[in-house]
């Protein structure tokens, strides 16, 4: 049975020592979905606070760069790439975040954080129009690099 790497033998939380691991190119993509009523979706371009989709995109990229400040045992990583795509769909807004680096540990948390913060930003920018907006389906889509190799969600 696999054991969780963020705990020592006594069960105390710890930062994983990655110093002996080789540096490899790593990439991760994650998504979030913000469910918004169609009537509110139509009003997005007229939002008096600005374009919520573009602001969410920038917020997600910024969040990817600050992940280790938000997640206590996350390693600070030199990101070589971070991007967030925000797409309006029939039932809401789909967010896909990508992060990449050449490092000793993966960038899954950076991609997930970017997707989550972008989704929260869409909510913040549109809550005046509808408080019932919901954030759903934050999950890893794929990752490459590292000892565990590639993963792609089925």
User: Among all residues, which ones are annotated catalytic?
Assistant: 124
**Residue 36 and residue 88 in contact, taking contact as beta carbons nearer than 8 Å:** no
- 30 class by beta-carbon count within 10 Å (0-12 exposed, 13-18 middle, 19+ buried): buried
Tracing tokens 């000892």 back to the chain, one arrives at: 147
d(CA 19, CA 49): 45
Q: How far is CA 120 from CA 48, 133, 146, in A?
A: 18, 10, 30
The separation between CA 89 and the C-alpha centre of its own chain, rounded to angstroms, equals: 19
Helix H or strand E segment including 144: strand 134-144
């Amino acid at each position: 049975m696999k054991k969780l790497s963020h705990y020592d033998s006594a069960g105390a939380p710890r930062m994983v020592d990655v110093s002996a691991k080789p540096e490899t190119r790593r990439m991760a993509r994650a998504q979030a979905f913000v469910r918004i009523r169609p009537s509110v979706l139509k009003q997005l371009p007229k939002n008096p606070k600005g374009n919520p989709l573009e602001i969410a995109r920038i917020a997600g990229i910024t969040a990817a760069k600050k992940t280790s400040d938000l997640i206590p045992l996350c390693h600070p990583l030199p990101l070589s790439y971070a991007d967030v795509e925000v797409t309006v769909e029939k039932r809401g807004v789909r967010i896909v975040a990508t992060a990449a680096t050449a490092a000793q540990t993966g960038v899954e948390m950076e991609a997930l954080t970017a997707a989550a913060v972008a989704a929260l930003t869409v909510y913040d920018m549109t809550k005046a129009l509808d408080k019932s907006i919901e954030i759903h389906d934050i999950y890893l889509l794929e990752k490459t690099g590292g000892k565990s190799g590639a993963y792609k969600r089925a």
